[in-house]
Structure 1
Amino acid sequence: MDDELEAVQTMTRRFVAEQITPRQEQWYEQGYTDRDVWRQAGELGILAPDISVEYGGSGGHFGHEAVIGHELCVAGDSSWRTCKQIHVIAAHYIEKYGTEAQKQKWLPGICSGELIAGMGMTEPNGGTDLQNMRTKAIRDGDNYRISGAKTFITNGSTADILILATKTDPSQKAKGVSLFIFETSTPGFAVSKRLKKIGLHGSDTAELFFDDCVVPADRLLGEVEGQGFYQMMKDLTYERALTGVNCAAVMEHALKVTTEYTKDRSIFGGKLIDLQNTRLELAEVKTLATIARVFVDFTVERMINGTMTSDLASMSKWWMSDTHSEIINRCLQLHGGHGYILEYPIARMYVDARIEAIYAGANEVLKDLIGRNL
């Protein structure tokens, strides 16, 4: 942390308290976040803080995004933080791999919140197996015709644009994958439905269909075919590092609300915190949360100085997500029956936590990737 990051932290904390926390119940019930919050965040410069100023961003680095994600998580936000994470990841794809014309056209709107972005990768029969996706983009003169389906897409029903993964050469695996900047206003595109999840009820997750959608050739990201798989593999490091940051913050939030609960809960003529078992459990939880904080701070430093590796990002993502699920489970047990009631923050953390080991690369796949590099 430095003075600039502390200023971002203070501004984000105020924004979350005023615009995010009071609307959690509304978003939880309706299944998506309102559009105005994106524009408000854009005006403050916290929507895409590490995108270059020349394209409408704040010109910061990964540390700025980490601070913002941390503040959302410790405030108990389970709606907008996931949507925002995917939004900023999409922005990075365009800044890192797009042509100058593509950057100038799309990034200012993404950074201001006028455009909501999503990532269209996962397919109904594909999951983590991105090499074998079935969505096709066939060249037709100055256009491509895109047909296929995607599922589990965050911001799926609200996004204006998607970074869409397709097969431009179905005969190839990785070498046949290309990414497109896809406008959801394109004829032939349809949102099948918002998916009902066990957690993250306030974030928009949808199933999408593409029926012979005609897309101009200049929407091909970087305007070079066959680069999509390699682009995804490189940028998944960013997503996995950010997932680790968020999980560490949720651990801290779980510890905080559980400690407060045990100090308030009366049992056997005293407080729950007075029981030795409670103190032993919380001591272990605090230790694990502290280890997580040290680990994640190390990964943030590596992201900032450019020395992050795929292995380290994978290690952070799988260990953080598994450990935070363990911590939340133990904290819920200390709440007793109240921990099973969704009015209590720990209950929502419990159902929200399960997805962390699945998205951004299933933890089993990440361990295998780490193992292959031994």
Structure 2
Amino acid sequence: MRRSLVLTAAAAVLAGLGATAVATASATTPGVERGTPRPLAGMRILLSNDDSMRAAKASNSDGMGLYELRRAMCAAGADVVVMAPWQVQSGKGTAVTNGGALTVQRRTALPAGYGGDCAGAPSGGAVFGVCLGEDGCAPDSPGATPADTVKLALRGGLAAKAGWKDGPDLVLTGINSGPNVAASVNDSGTVGAAVAAIDQGVPALAFSSSGDESQLYFPRENYRAHAEFGARFVAGLKERGLLTPAFALKVDYPDVSAGRKAGAPVWTRVGDGAVAYHAYERRGTGDTFDIALGLCEGGGSGGECAESRADADSTWLLGEGHVTVAPITWDRTYGTPVDARRELTAVRRYVEREAPRP
């Protein structure tokens, strides 16, 4: 059942946010010195994405951001469990699988450098891949959709595999390889998974990071900067009691791999233009069409590439280099009343006035 309740604020907050943190790291917490504030202590977080949990490609496009987000959230004290698609499921939006079976298979050998990140957490930072079928997940098994993984986790998967009978306090999706802005938001599996969470009454944030100038390589520096900002951002929301299932937050991060500093968070809307679009080219006179992605050059000057909103996420992220935050709702009814106006106003005030700076 969809809930309208806002999570109770926590006592522990980040250093510098104006309150005294009560939870601190022990000497055994990987990568965290003794005495470091742990503002997410006691919070259970489900982590998913649309890029899979493989993190094997040289381009860092198949789940590397997920492990950076897992690392940062565990360092902040959260208990994190990953349930992510077995294969890359980019562009699946809110799609679900309507029949057959899903298998949840634990990954024991994690990518180099990430194995001990959650060693001190109750769940140990367990990572599960979800595939279609009932005979286990083989290298070529098809993956569940991002929305599948979240729905499965919340409707019994976490209880069975992690012992979380009361479910998670928060769902985080990403960090996606590439931004999810403007028209691409409707296609995004990262955003779709977050929508699946709020549809089940659980607060959610969707994180996406820009690639380098080529948009073919996704530097680890971008993921790490975004993840560390994300942990502080979530801690601030938690402290203020602003984690709500009334809407999800989409948080996109600019490219900082060349040394450019990310601009302060900006409250935005999803742009009404396009940054990229699907192109279909027919092969000769036959029945086959090749699928390709087209890019709008220079922000686009007309047609579907044109952007009319001054507060568009794409403009502030790609044009101005700021972190962008946009609220996303499950209700696609045009002109629907805003049921959580008070929460929306409070979150916007936090983003504009109080959120951490990159």
Quick one: higher RCO (CA 8 Å, sep 6+), 1 or 2? 2
Q: Larger helix proportion, structure 1 or 2?
A: 1
TM-score normalised by L of structure 1: 0.25
The structure with more radius of gyration: 1
Q: Larger strand proportion, structure 1 or 2?
A: 2
TM-score normalised by L of structure 2: 0.26
